[in-house]
Amino acid sequence: MSITLYTTEASIGWVSHIALEESGLEYKVVPLDFSTQQQASPEYLKINPKARVPSLVVEQGVITETPAILNYLARIAPGSSIALPQDPFEQSIIDSFNSYICSTVHVAHAHKMRGHRWVDDEAAKKAITANVPRTMAVCMDMIEGEFLVGPWVHGESFTVSDPYLYRISSWLEGDGVDINQYPKIKSHHEAMNERASVQAVKAFFASV
C-alpha cells in the first residue's frame, strides 16, 4: 500500500500526520513550503486544486479534508489505536466531534490571519481578527463542558478525535486563549505530548 501525506508544519496537517503514526501503516511525508507558495504551484494543484493541506495520496486517488482522511486511516488500520468502533452510534459521536472541529473551531481560528476569505474590507478584517479570542473561547467552553469526556476525547479509548483536539489546543495561546482556564483540555494536551506519535511528528519537522 502506498500512502503519501502532503502537509506543512504550521497547519492542521499535524492531525493526519499523528494519525498515520498511530496507525502503524507505512507512509511518507512531503512537506510543502508555504513561504514560497508551494501549495499554489502547478505541480501541487494537480494533487489538490484547493491549494491547501493536508492531502493524502493513496493508490486509488487523493483524499482531502481532515475528517475524511481520519476516517479513511481508521478504516484501513483496524488493529491500531485509531481503529473505528464497532458500534455505529459511537462512530457517529466521533464524526460529530470532528465535524465540529472542522466546520466551526478551525474556521474560528482561521479568522485570525485569513479574514480575506470572508471579507475584503480592511476594517472588517481587523474586526474579525480581534474577535478570535472570544470565538475560540466559546468553542473551548463547548468542548470542555460538553464534548471532552476524559482522559481522551470520548473516554477511556484513544480515537482519531484526539489528534484533532491536540492540534487545535496547541493554537490557543496564539489565539489569545488561556489553556489554563480549561483543565480538561490542558490535561488532554499534556497527555498527547507524551505519546510517541506526537514526538515523532515533532522530530520530523525538526529535521526538515
pLDDT for res 115? 62
Q: Which helix (H) or strand (E) holds 45?
A: helix 42-47
Burial class (CB in 10 A: 0-12, 13-18, 19+), 53: buried
| Cα–Cα separations (whole angstroms), residue 63 to 34, 44, 85, 134, 193 | 20, 14, 22, 32, 27
Closest by Cα among 162, 44, 10, 190 to 94: 162
Q: Quick one: pLDDT band at residue 111, thresholds 50, 70, 90?
A: confident
Superfamily for domain range 3-81+198-207: Glutaredoxin (3.40.30.10)
In degrees and rounded to multiples of 5, residue 63 shows phi and psi of -115, 130
Q: How many CB atoms lie within 10 A of CB 44?
A: 19
Tens-place pLDDT, residues 127-182: 888 999 999 999 999 999 999 999 999 999 999 999 999 999 999 999 999 999 99
Q: What's the chain's length in residues?
A: 208
3-81+198-207 and 88-195 in the same fold: no
pLDDT at 190 over 90: yes
CA 92 to chain centre: 18
Q: What is the CATH number of domain 88-195?
A: 1.20.1050.10
Q: What does the domain layout of the chain look like in residue ranges?
A: 3-81+198-207, 88-195
The phi, psi pair for 109, rounded to 5°, reads: -65, -45
Query: What integer pLDDT is reported at residue 177 of this predicted model?
Result: 98
E strands present in the chain: 3-7, 28-31, 55-58, 61-64
Average pLDDT, the chain: 96
What gap in Å lies between CA 200 and CA 208, rounded to an integer? 13
Contact 188, 182 (CB under 8 A): no
Q: Which residues contact 6 (CB under 8 A, 6 or more apart)?
A: 13, 29, 30, 32, 44, 47, 48, 53, 54, 55, 56, 57
Q: Is residue 185's pLDDT more than 90?
A: yes
Average pLDDT in the 61-71 region?
98
DSSP three-state, residue 35: helix
pLDDT tens across 11-39, in order? 999 999 999 999 999 999 999 999 999 99
Of 1 and 5, the structure prediction assigns the larger pLDDT to 5
